[in-house]
Chain A
Amino acid sequence: MSLLQSLTTRDRVFDFMAPQASPVDVRHGPILYMEDVSVSFDGFKAINNLNLTIDDGELRCIIGPNGAGKTTMMDIITGKTRPNEGSVWFGSRHNLLQMNEPDIASLGIGRKFQKPTVFEALSVFENLELAMAADKRILPTLTARMTGEIKDRIDDVLETIGLTELRFQPAGILSHGQKQWLEIGMLLMQRPRLLLVDEPVAGMTEQEMERTAELLTGLAGKQSVVVVEHDMGFVRSIARKVTVLHQGSVLAEGSMDQVSSDPSVVEVYLGADDEEAA
């Protein structure tokens, strides 16, 4: 919490670092509100009357079998895909359906992709520098200077994601797990209000998974975090609230125990997967 406070006070010293968009209004509760959203691709309904609400500061896990619409849901929130109908609100002020990808990103929604995409030719430090919340227009970017404050912030994030020692190494040499953390670090540099994390532990070792779980649970509270994940063990270790998607709509919602005892959930997903995991 003290980290966040020190960061927010710096905003006032360097007004160029302050978020440009008007603040997200969460006085009425949820930070993300999706209502009756539907998308179809060539007649196939990828999302079908989806209703989803994420509270401010919440850590939510979204699970569901392949084709349940998890990635499409993320695409809608980040502006990559436009739904055919429904409404998507960020706080109670910003209608995400009227905004484009960069605007949504600068508003404070960060997304971590399934496959880690970091800028391999740039160093870990530079990856974080580019991701930092700043004036991202051309001239301010051309004339941007590295200040002590920015450096401190990057160092803070490096510490959080545990890559301090590798900061001058090209991101291309990082291991798979390290790339995932760097991605999360890049999201943190944007000071997001809402983090969308797509399959963070796919392909990770046991230790890397633990480290990732610590990282994500540490973030919740400061940011709202939505995690899409297949690995049940991992979901169980971090989740407070789980949403199960099936065929583009919400099948069940609740704590991991509630959800995993729901017969309809067991039928479509958990039963099969638990056996696999065991």
Chain B
Amino acid sequence: MMTQSSSSQFWLTRPFGERATQIFLGVLFAALLLVTVLHLAVPQGHPLHVNAYTVNLFGKYLSYALLAVAVDLVWGYLGILSLGHGAFFAIGGYAMGMYLMRQIGDRGTYGDPILPDFMVFLSWDSLPWYWLGFDMAWFAFAMVLLAPGLLALVFGFLAFRSRVTGVYLSIITQALTFALMLAFFRNEMGFGGNNGLTDFRELLGFNLRTNDTRLGLFIATGVALALGYILCRAIVTSKLGRVCVATRDAEARTRFIGYRVERFQLFVFVVSAMLAGLAGALYVPQVGIINPSEFSPIFSIEIVLWVALGGRATLYGAVIGAILVNYAKTIFTGVMPDAWLFALGAMFVLVTVFLPKGVAGLLLHLKRRKKPVTPPKEATA
């Protein structure tokens, strides 16, 4: 019995091997292509036509999927249950939002060529220093990665150096995102307070309100997801990935064989935070707003639920989970808005009880029943 469970746990760390990546990327690109064709080539009114609203919705799901992959990297492989990844997502989103705000120029309600509307409203007469440079795309896009990365670096350095792990780390990540939410709610912070940043118009010169830009953002998000997936895949299949799994399962032991565990944790945590920031930056132009609610602790917990539901330590499971839950959320909040939280809770309970390895575990189980898995000879080579 014990043999059974350990060996399935083993295969969960690299189910399907390299095939998984190929299948995942194949499905992803097929889906991108299909949606594009159904949107552009099928005439409106035809039952197969995918309208701009749906394309936009899918784009949002894909950015959530990238966020889930980032969480799976630290939780699934490194065993760090971050309940604050929403913060990195939101900071990436704010960096993008600041760029988009500066792009509005003098077309805002108050017509100020430099100051965003909310600053004029607060009677500020100049841009705060941390808004400088965000009119340049390259600077803003760099900040999308660097700002969450820097926060993760400082936070992770302090946490991992003091060997804070497990449930304590989860609690302080939760506190981090909560503290940031409260801070961003304040008007004095200069990020639009309660209302956040909105009323965006153009991204790199493309009008955000046209269908073509929405399709472009959808495809860009899909490509970013693919690249993020490939990056995470490269990390987890490297020797460093095996050190991560070793750290997850026996941290003290890993330290004893000579790895500076806290540096590995920090490295992977920062990479994950940057991916989350990228996901946030792709999310914001698609939903048209970024406000402090993205920092809410509940959102960060929800991300973890996506990963748990899809199956941790598989990467593609995180994608499946993010898309499934958010699709269900769209449907439920449309049909019976009050029932959504109950449905989410029920889904989580059912998955925990019947599918402890998530949807990915189910797929794996079905595959194994079809044909017995023989250990690949080159698995470790």
Please determine whether A146 and B380 come into contact, CB atoms closer than 8 angstroms.
yes
Q: Is the CB of B6 within 8 A of A120?
A: yes
Q: Can you list, as one digit per residue, whether each of A112-135 has a CB less than 8 Å from chain B (1) or not (0)?
A: 010001111111011001110100
CB-based contact B379/A123 at 8 Å: yes
Q: Please, how many angstroms separate the alpha-carbon atoms of A173 and B242 in the complex?
A: 18
Q: Does B22 contact A (CB under 8 A)?
A: no
Kindly state whether residue B367 has any CB partner on chain A within 8 Å.
no
User: Does B107 sit at the interface, judged by CB under 8 A?
Assistant: no
Cβ contacts under 8 Å, B10 to chain A: 120-123, 170, 172
Considering only CB atoms, which chain A residue lies closest to B255 in the complex? A101
Of A102, A119, A170, A190, which contacts B246 at CB under 8 A? A119
**A231→B298 CA distance, assembly (Å):** 55
Does A2 touch B at the CB level, under 8 Å? no
Interface bits B2-36 vs A (CB < 8 Å: 1, else 0): 11001101101100000000000000000000000
Q: Is the CB of B250 within 8 A of A130?
A: no
Contact of B238 (CB < 8 Å), options: A106, A144, A169: A144
Contact A141 B240 (CB under 8 A): yes
Residue of B6, B253, B260 most packed against chain A (CB within 10 A): B253
Set of chain A residues within 8 Å of B255, measured between Cβ atoms: 101-102
A44 to B10, CA, bound (A): 43
For A250, what are the chain B residues with a Cβ–Cβ distance below 8 Å?
Answer: none
Which A81-123 residues sit within 8 Å CB-CB of chain B? 101-102, 105-106, 111, 113, 117-123
Assess whether B249 is in contact with A121, with CB atoms less than 8 Å apart. yes
Instruction: List the B side residues contacting A190 at CB < 8 Å.
Output: 257-258
In residues 143-187 of chain A, which contact B (Cβ within 8 Å)? 143-144, 146, 151, 168-170, 172-173, 186
Nearest chain-B residue to A117 (Cβ)?
A: B253
Chain B: interface size category: 35 or more
Q: Is there contact, CB below 8 Å, between A138 and B242?
A: no
Give every chain A residue within 8 A of B2 (Cβ-Cβ). Answer: 172-173
When chains A and B are docked, how far (Å) is the Cα of A215 from the Cα of B274?
Answer: 48
A192 to B243, CA, bound (A): 20
Q: Does residue B205 face the partner (Cβ distance < 8 Å to A)? A: no
Output the nearest chain B residue to A167 by Cβ-Cβ distance: B380
CB-CB contacts of A188-206 with B at 8 A, as 1s and 0s? 0010000000000000000
Q: Are A136 and B260 in contact (CB under 8 A)?
A: yes
Q: How far is the CA of A90 from the CA of B107 in the complex (A)?
A: 72
29 contacts between A and B (CB under 8 A): A101-B255, A101-B256, A106-B258, A113-B253, A117-B252, A119-B245, A119-B253, A120-B9, A120-B10, A121-B13, A122-B13, A122-B245, A123-B10, A123-B380, A125-B380, A126-B380, A130-B239, A130-B242, A138-B240, A138-B263, A138-B267, A141-B239, A142-B240, A144-B238, A144-B239, A172-B2, A172-B10, A173-B3, A190-B257
Binding site for A on B (CB under 8 A): 2-3, 6-7, 9-10, 12-13, 235, 238-240, 242-243, 245-246, 248-250, 252-260, 263-264, 267, 375, 377, 379-381
A130-B254, A138-B263 known, 16 other contacts, Cβ within 8 Å: A78-B256, A111-B256, A118-B253, A121-B10, A121-B249, A129-B239, A130-B257, A137-B260, A138-B264, A141-B264, A142-B240, A168-B380, A169-B375, A172-B6, A173-B2, A173-B7
Closest 7 CB pairs of A and B: A172-B6, A170-B10, A144-B239, A105-B258, A142-B240, A119-B246, A117-B253
